[in-house]
Amino acid sequence: MNAVVVTELGGPEVLTWTEIEDPVADDGVIVEVAAAGLNFIDTYQRSGLYPIRVPFIPGLEGSGTVVSAPAGSGFSAGDRVAWADGQGSYAERVSVHPSKLTRIPEGVEFDTAAAVMLQGMTAHYLAMDTFPLQPGHRCLVHAGAGGVGLLLIQIAKLAGADVYATVGSTDKADLARSAGADLVIDYTTTDFAAAITEAAGSRPLDVVYDGVGRATFQAGLGLLKRRGMMVTFGNASGPPDPVPPLTLMQNGSLYVTRPTMFDYVTNRTELDARARDLFGWVSDGRLDVRVGTRLPMRDAEQAHRMLEGRSTTGKVLLIP
């Protein structure tokens, strides 16, 4: 089979389409990959920001058809499955532990399933658990036209929250607005903190969901109300600068958390529950999963450059 292999850490140029041996089953389920999802965590592993041993095959997320499964796994050949934590998904076949697989319901396409798993699970735990949104809450979603952003805006609106969003262009503003954001700010032309303050008053936000990092973190802190929460879950512009604990006290006893999906999907029960919500919302039309770009998997280098250049909208999929 063929796969994208990283033999040394570095830039997108280290992603190489290579012929390798098929995966060994062990206690995993062998899946023929239909689509793999591109995520910022893939770039963090590739660059070395998140340590990983080389050589390795990138990719955590995908969808496909079971080729073979060990006895007692609960899966069998022909099952349609998706996953958000299957290292090595940039490949024609991958071995995924059965505890990390969920079935794709009828009526949900492979592309949609691959596109909603990791980013959808992320948006779900952020809005439902990290800071559980309720009617009347005000939240800020950075990168509102990105894969997580578009899903998070929609889930926040399902919860009854008021949603402010930042984007990087007029086209992206239209996307975030169509997802339901109440106020959309193009941060390339407008000071987002000043715009939100003008619209809603001083320090109006209950929570900031920040997947951008260094470029937006400090200004976001200044928008939080007393006992508000900063949820920093990504580093698209680099990791945020450290914040002295005393600063949090001086600004209203603020909370700062740095969650990861893997602490919110720790077992099959949690995985299936979140997937059931996401696939249910997709099926009944309440959650629109936008696939912005499909590229051949061999073009993973181009995909990484696009993502890191923040020139993508919605989900990017790699097709074997």
Q: Are residues 150 and 230 in the same domain?
A: yes
Residue at 64 is within a domain: yes
- Contact in structure between 241 and 219 (CB atoms under 8 Å): no
What count of other Cβ atoms lies within 10 Å of the Cβ of residue 189? 9
> What's the predicted TM-score (pTM) here?
0.88
Q: Where does a domain end: 229, 258, 287?
A: 258
Q: Where does a domain end: 258, 289, 305?
A: 258
pLDDT at residue number 310 = 80
Residue at 122 is within a domain: no
Residue at 61 is within a domain: yes
Would you list the DSSP string of the chain? -EEEEBSS-SSGGG-EEEE-PPPP-TTSEEEEEEEEE--HHHHHHHHTSS--PSSB----EEEEEEEE--TTSS--TT-EEEES--S--SBSEEEE-GGGEEEPPTT--HHHHHHHHHHHHHHHHIIIIIS---TT-EEEESSTTBHHHHHHHHHHHHTT-EEEEEESSHHHHHHHHHTT-SEEEETTTS-HHHHHHHHH-SS-EEEEEESS-TTTHHHHHTTEEEEEEEEE---TT-PPPP--HHHHHHTTS-EEE---GGGT--SHHHHHHHHHHHHHHHHTTS----EEEEEEGGGHHHHHHHHHTT---BEEEEE-
**Number of domains comprising the chain:** 2
Closest to 283 (Cα-Cα) out of 158, 159, 106, 151: 106
Structure tokens given for 87: 């290292």
Sheet of 205-210, strands arranged across: 183-186, 162-167, 138-141, 205-210, 224-232, 255-257
Q: Are residues 156 and 176 in the same domain?
A: yes
- Contact in structure between 316 and 307 (CB atoms under 8 Å): yes
Q: Are residues 244 and 274 in the same domain?
A: no
Q: Using alpha carbons only, give the angle 65, 66, 67 rounded to the nearest 5 degrees.
A: 110
Which domain CATH number covers 81?
Answer: 3.90.180.10
Q: Are residues 103 and 146 in the same domain?
A: no
Residue at 129 is within a domain: no
pLDDT at residue number 44 = 92
pLDDT at residue number 24 = 85
Residue at 81 is within a domain: yes
pLDDT in tens, the chain (320 residues): 999 999 999 999 999 999 999 998 788 999 999 999 999 899 999 999 999 999 999 999 999 999 999 999 999 999 999 999 999 999 999 999 999 999 999 999 999 999 999 999 999 999 999 999 999 999 999 999 988 999 999 999 999 999 999 999 998 999 999 999 999 999 989 999 999 999 999 999 999 999 999 999 999 999 999 999 999 999 888 899 999 999 999 999 999 999 999 999 999 899 999 999 999 999 999 999 989 899 999 999 999 999 999 888 879 999 99
Output the CA–CA distances (angstroms, integers) from residue 249 to 217, 245, 253, 255, 282, in the order listed. Answer: 17, 7, 4, 9, 41
Spatial distance between the Cα atoms of 84 and 63, rounded to a whole number of angstroms: 9
Spatial distance between the Cα atoms of 275 and 287, rounded to a whole number of angstroms: 13
Q: Are residues 170 and 196 in the same domain?
A: yes
Phi-psi domain of 125 (left: phi exceeds 0; alpha: psi -120 through 50; beta: other) = alpha
Tell me which residue range forms the domain holding 87: 2-117+266-319
What count of other Cβ atoms lies within 10 Å of the Cβ of residue 70? 14
Which domain CATH number covers 183?
Answer: 3.40.50.720
Q: Are residues 160 and 238 in the same domain?
A: yes
Q: Are residues 15 and 74 in the same domain?
A: yes
Q: Are residues 231 and 275 in the same domain?
A: no
- Contact in structure between 248 and 220 (CB atoms under 8 Å): no
